[in-house]
Amino acid sequence: MAVQNADAAYASSLRDLAARLRPGFTLGVAAAAFQIEGALAAGGRGPSGWDAFAAKPGTIANGHSPAVACDHYNRVPEDIALMQELGIDSYRFSLSWPRIQPDGRGAVNAQGLDFYDRLIDQLLAAGISPMATLYHWDTPLPLEDSGGWMNRATAGHFADYVAAAAKRLGDRVAQWVTLNEPVSVTLNGYALGVHAPGRDLLFDALPSVHHQLLGHGLAVQALRAAGVAGAIGITNLHSPVRPATRKLTDRLLARVFDLVLNRVYSDPILLGRYPKPPAAARPWFRSLAKASDDDLRLISQPLDFYGVNYYYPVKVAAGQGPADTPAGTAEAMARVPFHLAAFPEYATTGFGWPVAPEHLGILLRELKDRYGAALPPLYITESGASFPEPEHVTGPIADGRRIDYLAHHLHQAMVSTAPGGIAHDVELLGYYVWTLMDNFEWAAGYSQRFGLVHVDFDTLKRTPKKSFYWLQALSRARKARTAEPA
């Protein structure tokens, strides 16, 4: 049967999993412009804050450069052929703002739009539905230099760029994601300094939350005004947050961290208000408490779907500890009264992230409990894992741990949202694997390989891994099932 190339041991669980994929459920892969495109000066693209950050010594592991990345810009047909071979339904990619509007305001660069126009047409010709993320962290440098998301004006500039993208691409994109993980921009970029633009403002970074959310609200308005054909949503990172012990201080600080990581994004979007911090933590959140009703109305416009990126749960402990964060070591952690603790009970990925699929179901339950009828249908817009893998390969590498990771997370997603599951009342529309091919993993450079396809960064040769053939077999098994007579 269809399970060629996939390890035989996975065949039965694969058939079981295929049977759990409900009709119409979307299987996809996700990627981001800056991590794969390269060609940073081609076709009139302007520099981004990430270009500038990565050029500073000591910011990126091993001094790796994003200049070439996967050279996807010049290899679109080859990469779409891979996706077609993989058999996915949808591809989530991001539009590069500095490619489309090099200065971040004013003139639109037709060549930038042409690139995405061709990409979308080629996807459609290959039978793959396009999901476009409008912002995956590559702020045009002139805007970053005037404060980036710490500056309220950036939200308005973002909406202008979105209007231009919507006008040109709005007839063919199936889903629009306004922002990818605003929490990562605030936390890693402005609070801890481990991502671009490298600022370490800690809680003083919180205005960047509000400005990104305003950008989201204005973008939703711009997309609706342009009459785009596709559905509109946003993607947030969500991590269940747990206190390290039952001690009061651990519990209090875990509540605070849950606000910073999850709720200051999802509450205003879905409920139209910022969450109330515990009294002792109120001074940290004062900038958000000042948000006007008008702003909150804009931020909480109805969405067609809500995107969730799930990677790991987080454990918070009072007091100083290791300065490790999921995105890298952050010296600024020495200035906060808590640290992130390990989960010794779980295996870890190459990044050191705990492998905890059951927390995906728990997370979906928590989201539904908190937001009830205000929770739109969901997509898991990213889920995946990096593992140490060789730089050069001669054939499909046996990445069994990735297959295991994906099988367990997808199983959890399906089982928890099926009748009788812990999140049975959540409408889950699809699941996107992060990511198609190994790529530039931000501050980790090329050292964290998340791909279903191995990339040799010397030759740029793409070699599918066993996990690629596993997902292909899953997709085929499902299609064979749907073709069976009832």
Spatial separation of the C-alpha atoms in residues 402 and 389, rounded to whole Å: 11
Integer CA distances (angstroms), 55 to 1, 48, 386, in order: 50, 11, 24
Least distance (Å) from ligand FCB to the CB of residue 434? 5
Least distance (Å) from ligand FCB to the CB of residue 129? 20
Spatial separation of the C-alpha atoms in residues 89 and 83, rounded to whole Å: 9
Spatial separation of the C-alpha atoms in residues 252 and 259, rounded to whole Å: 11
Spatial separation of the C-alpha atoms in residues 310 and 61, rounded to whole Å: 24
Strand partners, 93: 132
Least distance (Å) from ligand FCB to the CB of residue 327? 8
Is the separation of the CB atoms in 57 and 125 below 8 Å? no
Least distance (Å) from ligand FCB to the CB of residue 450? 6
Pick 158 or 434: Cβ nearer ligand FCB = 434
Least distance (Å) from ligand FCB to the CB of residue 444? 8
Pick 28 or 142: Cβ nearer ligand FCB = 28
Least distance (Å) from ligand FCB to the CB of residue 387? 12
- In 3D space, the residue among 429, 366, 392 whose CA is nearest the CA of residue 131 turns out to be 429
CA angle 223-229-234, nearest 5°?
50
The catalytic site residues sit at 181, 382
Pick 37 or 181: Cβ nearer ligand FCB = 181
Pick 309 or 467: Cβ nearer ligand FCB = 309
Spatial separation of the C-alpha atoms in residues 381 and 378, rounded to whole Å: 9
Pick 188 or 417: Cβ nearer ligand FCB = 188
The single-letter code of the amino acid at 169 is L
Torsion of the alpha carbons at 211, 217, 223 and 224, rounded to the nearest 10: -160
Least distance (Å) from ligand FCB to the CB of residue 442? 6
Q: Is the peptide bond before 325 cis (omega within 30 degrees of 0)?
A: no
Pick 79 or 382: Cβ nearer ligand FCB = 382
SS (H, E, C) 6-59: CCHHHHHHHHHHHHHCCCCCEEEEECCHHHHCCCCCHHHCCCEHHHHHHHCCCC
Q: Which helix (H) or strand (E) holds 144?
A: helix 141-145
Pick 285 or 446: Cβ nearer ligand FCB = 446
Q: Which helix (H) or strand (E) holds 415?
A: helix 400-417
Give the interface with ligand FCB as residue ranges (CB under 6 A).
Answer: 32, 35, 180-181, 184, 237, 309, 382, 434, 441-442, 450
Spatial separation of the C-alpha atoms in residues 318 and 256, rounded to whole Å: 11
Pick 10 or 442: Cβ nearer ligand FCB = 442
CA angle 51-54-55, nearest 5°?
85
Least distance (Å) from ligand FCB to the CB of residue 183? 9
Is the separation of the CB atoms in 288 and 206 below 8 Å? yes
Burial class (CB in 10 A: 0-12, 13-18, 19+), 37: buried
> How large is the greatest C-alpha to C-alpha distance in the chain, in angstroms?
63
The DSSP letter of residue 348 is B
